[in-house]
């Protein structure tokens, strides 16, 4: 089954404790992206990757890091999480760039930073 | 700076009637627009899209209209069904850029 998977689905952590949210897709997609969803703000793009070893900042990259060492994986790293990073996070992938391509989304990771 | 705006947080319609969801954008470089549907505890799923060379795209009960001069698009659902109850996100991108901008979403409730 073609899908985007994220782990963990739920995470409660404390300020400053480094964490990684994994994302994997099995569709051989070149483009992958991370979003956060907050009430009243919709989905905001954090980082995206056009292909292996190519990453770019989205709308709200501060406080996040990403890497794309393999085509299928695109982990999101919070080196020192803060309460304002409490949010619902979605990973997405598409065949190629964001333009003219639908994105396939993972089920989401709900992160709470205390 | 929200470049894509959905000014109605919620919409309620009766089953069988038309649902009209609206979206406005400010960036004239946007040339591809999409609608996504999101159920609780799931990721958004693609619904329908339109490129700026068209003013209408239809797929079954779903039609998207684009008015470039007004920088406005709308999603029409006819007839609305209870299973259409979800949050709908409007999204836009520009061909010279690979980021994607989303609106805040509109929660549609279709009452039986």
A21-34: per-residue pLDDT in tens?
Answer: 999 999 999 999 99
Tell me the C-alpha distance between A55 and A79, whole Å.
Answer: 17
Per-residue confidence (pLDDT) for residue B80, from 0 to 100: 98
- Secondary element (H or E) of residue B47: strand B45-51
User: Looking at residue A99, what is its pLDDT?
Assistant: 67
Q: Does residue B69 contact residue B84 with C-beta atoms inside 8 Å?
A: no
Contacts of B103 in chain A (CB under 8 A): 42
Q: What is the pLDDT of residues A104-114, one digit of tens each?
A: 999 999 999 99
How many other CB atoms are found less than 10 A from the CB of residue B111?
11
Report CB contact under 8 Å: B98, A97.
yes
Residue of A33, A43, A58 lying closest to B89 (CB–CB) = A43
Contact A106, B42 (CB under 8 A): no
What percent of chain A is modeled with pLDDT above 90?
A: 87
Q: Which two tokens stand for residue A23?
A: 């994302």
At CB < 8 Å, which residues of chain B contact A? 2, 4, 6, 9, 31-32, 34, 36, 41-46, 49, 51, 89, 91, 93-95, 97-105
CA separation for the pair A114, A15 (Å, rounded): 6
The shortest C-alpha distance from B31 to chain A (Å) reads 8
The pair of structure tokens assigned to A80 is: 């020192």
Mean pLDDT of chain A: 94
- The answer, yes or no, to whether residue B44 has pLDDT greater than 80, is yes
* A interface test, pick of B41, B44, B45, B93 with most A CB neighbours within 10 Å: B44
Per-residue DSSP letter, A73: B
Give residue A98's pLDDT: 65
Please, are residues A91 and A103 in contact by the beta-carbon 8 Å criterion? Answer: no
| Burial class, B1, CB count within 10 angstroms (exposed 0-12 / middle 13-18 / buried 19+) | exposed
């Amino acid at each position: 089954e073609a899908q985007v998977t994220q782990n963990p689905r739920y995470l409660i952590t404390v300020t400053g404790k480094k964490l990684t949210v994994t994302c994997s897709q099995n569709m051989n997609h070149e483009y992958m992206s991370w979003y956060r969803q907050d009430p009243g703000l919709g989905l905001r793009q954090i980082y995206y990757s056009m292909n292996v070893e190519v990453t770019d900042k989205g709308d709200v990259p501060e406080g996040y890091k990403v890497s794309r060492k393999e085509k299928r994986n695109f982990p999101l790293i919070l080196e020192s999480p803060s309460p304002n990073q409490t949010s619902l996070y979605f990973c997405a992938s598409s065949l190629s760039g964001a333009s003219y391509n639908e994105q396939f989304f993972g089920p989401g990771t709900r992160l709470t930073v205390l | 700076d929200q470049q894509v705006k959905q000014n109605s947080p919620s919409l309620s319609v009766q089953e069988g009637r038309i649902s009209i969801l609206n979206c406005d954008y400010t960036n004239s470089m946007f040339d591809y627009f999409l609608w996504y549907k999101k159920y609780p505890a799931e990721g958004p799923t693609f619904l329908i899209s339109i490129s700026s060379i068209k003013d209408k795209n239809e797929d079954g009960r779903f039609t998207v209209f684009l008015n470039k001069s007004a920088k406005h698009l709308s999603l029409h659902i006819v007839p609305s069904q209870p299973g259409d109850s979800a949050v709908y996100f409007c999204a836009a991108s520009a061909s010279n850029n690979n980021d994607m901008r989303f609106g805040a979403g509109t929660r549609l409730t279709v009452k039986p």
